[in-house]
Amino acid sequence: MPTASSQESEPQKSLKRITWQYENCLSCVWFRPNDPINADLLERGQCVHSKLKAYNLIVSGRDWCNLFTEIPQKSIDALQEKAMKEE
- In the chain, where the domains are located: 9-86
Q: State the Rg of the chain over Cα.
A: 18
The pLDDT of residue 68:
93
* Alpha helix positions (H), 1-87: 4-7, 10-15, 73-86
The pLDDT of residue 20:
52
Write the single-letter amino acid at 24. Answer: N
The pLDDT of residue 87:
73
Contacts of 53 by beta carbon, 8 Å cutoff, 6+ apart = 47
Residue 42 phi, psi dihedral angles, 5° rounding:
-90, -10
The pLDDT of residue 23:
84
- Listed as ranges, residues in the chain with pLDDT below 70 are 1-6, 8-21
